[in-house]
Amino acid sequence: MKMSFRAKRLARQNQRLAQASKLNLVALMDIFTILVFFLMVNQSEVKVLQSNKDISLPRSVSEQLPTEQVMLTITANGILVQGKPVWQGDWQQDVSVWQPELATALTAELNYLSARAAPLTEAQQPTGRALTLLGDAATPYLVLRQLMAICAATEYRDLSLAVELTAAATAQTEAP
């Protein structure tokens, strides 16, 4: 029996569609290569510090980027050094209650970290080791002052306070 033009056309179409589709990997690899380079270039400009969700950093117009150094985190009820809990207590109590215990625990931890690190070079001797204080904006000044005094008593005298860059400061730095 003779096939009609329509039947022949449908047979050819079914034959063509029955073939497995081919995936063009060259275009896909080009896209991923461009994406990798884009992410690498943009990653180097932003520094993100590890922070707890319950800490809201103070806002500032500081444009200096943080460097890798020891992180001392001040929470509402304690102190963490490099994410390790060092002291738990209440800041609302009298300073004579929590200060001796805090000084002992923090000094021991900082001395342990400095013993594990390389010795200070001649250039580092005047400033000491670097340390970043990461504290909530509502942290009392008395607490910050006590912590900075404890850090300065050890080899950690190059102190930095972690802050959040304000939106007005970012808009000013982007404007030519």
pLDDT at 47 over 90: no
Name the more confident of 166 and 143: 143
The Cα–Cα gap between 70 and 76 comes to 20
State the pLDDT at residue 51.
57
Mean pLDDT over 15-30 rounds to: 78
* From the candidate CATH numbers 1.10.220, 3.30.420, 3.40.50, 1.25.40, the one assigned to the domain spanning 59-165: 3.30.420
Residue 169 reports pLDDT greater than 50:
no
Q: What is the pLDDT of residue 54?
A: 67
Residues 71/49, Cβ–Cβ less than 8 Å: yes
**Mean predicted confidence (pLDDT) in 15-25:** 77
Of 23 and 82, the structure prediction assigns the larger pLDDT to 82
pLDDT at residue 6, rounded to an integer: 92
Q: Where are the domains of the chain?
A: 5-43, 59-165
Give mean pLDDT, residues 28-44.
82
Is the pLDDT reported for residue 50 higher than 70? no
Which has the higher per-residue pLDDT, 48 or 10? 10
Share of the chain above pLDDT 70, in %: 81
Mean per-residue pLDDT of the chain: 81
- Looking at residue 55, its pLDDT comes to 74
Question: Which pLDDT band, with edges at 50, 70 and 90, does 97 fall under?
Answer: confident
